[in-house]
Each structure stands twice: as structure tokens, then as C-alpha cells.
Amino acid sequence: QVQLVESGGGLAQPGGSLRLSCTVSGFTLDSYTIGWFRQAPGKEREGVSCISASNSRTFYSNSVKGRFTISRDDAKNVVYLQMDSLRPEDTGVYFCAANGHCQPAPSGSYYYTEFPSWGQGTQVTVSS
């Protein structure tokens, strides 16, 4: 059974940092593309970052590029999202998801397909 559990959310000040973790079970991490998504109050869910299964290629939305870093530790079955230079607009519930597909977009961001497996999410609040 595929399971994903997010952790590491919390309250951060503007300009601060948080590191989110997505711990997976029920599959080998290097066989699935993993995406991070977020949903702010009253807004639609949006893709934030993605790391591909085959070659660990990474993708970022333009709103977080240069501030967030996605990585994975296959031995620990964990995908990380290091978030630096946080802004109030980064506030939201962050989810990780598995087994979708990501590819680059002309805008510099990326496209993604449906991800069938999701975690429960972790709250990130950026406020002074």
C-alpha cells in the first residue's frame, strides 16, 4: 500500500527557513516521481516542485525558483523540500504526492500530470 507522510511544517518568520519531509512506504522511492504541492486558503492547489524518478531531474514553479530546493534520499525513502527566504505568500498546506509526471514548460516553470497518491499535508505559516 502506497503511503506518504509529510512533516516539518510550522511557523516561520519572513526570510526564514523550513525543511519539509515526505516519508514514503509501500514502494521504492527511486521508481516514482514525487511532487510537492501547496494550497493557500481560498486558492486552488498548485504545484511547487517535482523530482523525477528516472534521473532525479528537478522542477520548480517560478514563484519558488531560487528559494526552494527539492532532494531525495532513496536509502531513507524520504523526499525533502528545503524552503529558504520564506514569504507570507508561501503560507498554505503543503502536500507531497507520488507517481505523476513532470516536464519543463516554456515559461521556466513546469507541467505536471495527475498524481494518484497523496499525503495528508502539513501546514506552513509564514508570518511575523
DSSP state at residue 30: G
Overall average pLDDT of the 105-127 stretch: 93
Phi then psi dihedrals of residue 89, to 5 deg: -70, -5
Residues 6+ apart with CB under 8 A from 100: 33, 35, 50, 112, 113, 114, 115, 116
Q: What is the pLDDT of residues 13-67, one digit of tens each?
A: 999 999 999 999 998 888 899 999 999 999 999 999 999 987 889 999 999 999 9
Instruction: Check whether 108 has a pLDDT greater than 90.
Output: no
Using 50, 70 and 90 to split pLDDT, how confident is the model at 128? very high
SS3 54: coil
Instruction: Check whether 107 has a pLDDT greater than 90.
Output: no
Instruction: State the pLDDT at residue 54.
Output: 76
